[in-house]
Amino acid sequence: MNEIELKEWDLKAMVPDPGSGGAWVQTSLRRRLDPLTGAGSRILTGVKLQPASRPDLSELTAKPEFCPFDAEHLEKATFAFPSELTDERRIRRGRAVVVPNLMAYATHSAVGIYDPERHFLDLDELSPSLVGDAVAAMVFHAQAVRRMDPGAGWSSISANYLPPAGSSLVHPHLQSCHDPCGTTAQVLMVERSAKWGAGSRSYWSALLELEAGGSRWVGSTGRVSWLTPFAPAGFHEIWGVVEGIGDITELTEEDCSSIGIGLSRVLSAYRKWNLASFNFAIFGGGPHARDAGYQVVIKVMSRSNPDPMYRSDATYFERLHGEALIDLAPEEIAEQIRPSFRESPA
Ligand SMILES: [Zn+2]
């Protein structure tokens, strides 16, 4: 039976210490590999890149004269889905609305607005129902796309929030991607899962078994298990693994609600940690997800705060070397967020 191997080395960095007149001291610098993909992550010691305070977001997030996602403009500024896709011209669940995307970055895509009535929702205002309903509306669209075009078998639902995360519009929204091919990260996860072997104990079951109750365990909502990754790719990264399903088109209403509760708790914690920007992705496993023993994975990470001259959290290490520099160990993140997952579901 395959066992997950957690590989970690201390690179034992040597640096001059300003506090002792420049004397050279050895500092712990842990390098870890993601046990599935082999991607490297360096966990620094004594370097604190995290914000001590939060920038004032009022100017950036003030309601402009025109925003296509605001309720009063939405019907004119966006278009309806074709009737061969769905009879719902615009897909609505709770306050969420899903409309066609104008930018062609995938064969089929949509954009979901959590709440057209609110031009800006801060991290702690993205409530379980706002997030859960928006994900449910996106899943409904994904299912419609799959019926219309079964060849577009690779699906994902993701989000950029505020400009440092890549968002061009401030109004909080999420986006989807449905293609005949998967994204690089999606395909890598599924192929490596298949290589690991599906059988009775898939990689993801083994991972949850290994991590349950441990130092990286966060908690669960419904059949979604939440944990911090052993070798994070980004800051404050948290994963959710949905038990038993390999594709986002299989997510039930209850799963969407469980994802909404979990993500909402993570984003509230980000708010408490003086953070303001994030990305998340919900990865479907493509046409062979089940054979690969793949399970739907949600990944969320914080991004740099939108200060006027902000320091990007994506350095040459992340962008060119494919290796993350992290100043807070995933075990510290899990410990800090775990209490909020002990609450009963909202
Ligand atoms: Zn708006």
pLDDT (average), residues 107-112: 98
269 within domain boundaries: yes
97 within domain boundaries: yes
25 within domain boundaries: no
Tell me, what amino acid is at 325?
A: L
12 within domain boundaries: no
Count of structural domains, the chain: 1
Average pLDDT in the chain: 95
pLDDT (average), residues 66-91: 96
275 pLDDT more than 90: yes
pTM as predicted: 0.96
285 pLDDT more than 80: yes
CA of 281 to the centre of ligand 1 (A): 22
Cβ neighbour number for residue 80 with a 10 Å cutoff? 13
**Proportion of the chain above pLDDT 90, given as a percent:** 91
Beta strands in 211-314 (DSSP E): 217-221, 224-227, 238-242, 277-283, 297-303
CA of 74 to the centre of ligand 1 (A): 9
Return the ∠ at Cα 211 (arms to 270 and 165), rounded to 5°. 30
11 within domain boundaries: no
pLDDT (average), residues 301-323: 93
Residue with tokens 């309601």: 63
CA–CA dist 315, 297 (Å, integer): 25
CA of 13 to the centre of ligand 1 (A): 47
Q: What is the pLDDT of residues 231-246, one digit of tens each?
A: 999 999 999 999 999 9
310 pLDDT more than 90: no
pLDDT (average), residues 34-59: 91
H or E, element range at 325: strand 324-326
No. of helices (H) and no. of strands (E), the chain: 9, 16
346 pLDDT more than 90: no
CA of 99 to the centre of ligand 1 (A): 14
Return the ∠ at Cα 262 (arms to 258 and 264), rounded to 5°. 115
pLDDT (average), residues 327-344: 92
Torsion, Cα 39 42 48 53, to 10 degrees, reads: 0
CA of 212 to the centre of ligand 1 (A): 40
Q: What is the pLDDT of residues 81-109, one digit of tens each?
A: 999 999 999 999 999 999 999 999 999 99
Residue of 315, 229, 306 whose CA lies nearest to 36: 229
44 within domain boundaries: no
- pLDDT number for residue 303: 96
Is residue 21 a contact partner of residue 217, using CB atoms and an 8 Å limit? no
30 within domain boundaries: no
- pLDDT number for residue 270: 97
The two three-digit tokens of residue 331, written as one number: 């075990």
CA of 296 to the centre of ligand 1 (A): 30
43 within domain boundaries: no
CA–CA dist 19, 255 (Å, integer): 52
CATH code for position 312 = 3.30.428.10
201 pLDDT more than 90: no
Furthest CA-CA distance within the chain: 73
CA of 38 to the centre of ligand 1 (A): 40
- pLDDT number for residue 199: 66
- pLDDT number for residue 27: 92
183 pLDDT more than 60: yes
Please, which residues have CB within 8 angstroms of residue 144's CB and are 6 or more apart in sequence?
Answer: 81, 85, 86
- pLDDT number for residue 344: 61
CA of 69 to the centre of ligand 1 (A): 5
pLDDT interval class at 1 (50, 70, 90) = low
- pLDDT number for residue 49: 74
CA of 271 to the centre of ligand 1 (A): 21
CA of 267 to the centre of ligand 1 (A): 20
CA of 96 to the centre of ligand 1 (A): 13
Instruction: Print the domain residue range for 108.
Output: 58-341
Is residue 193 a contact partner of residue 202, using CB atoms and an 8 Å limit? yes
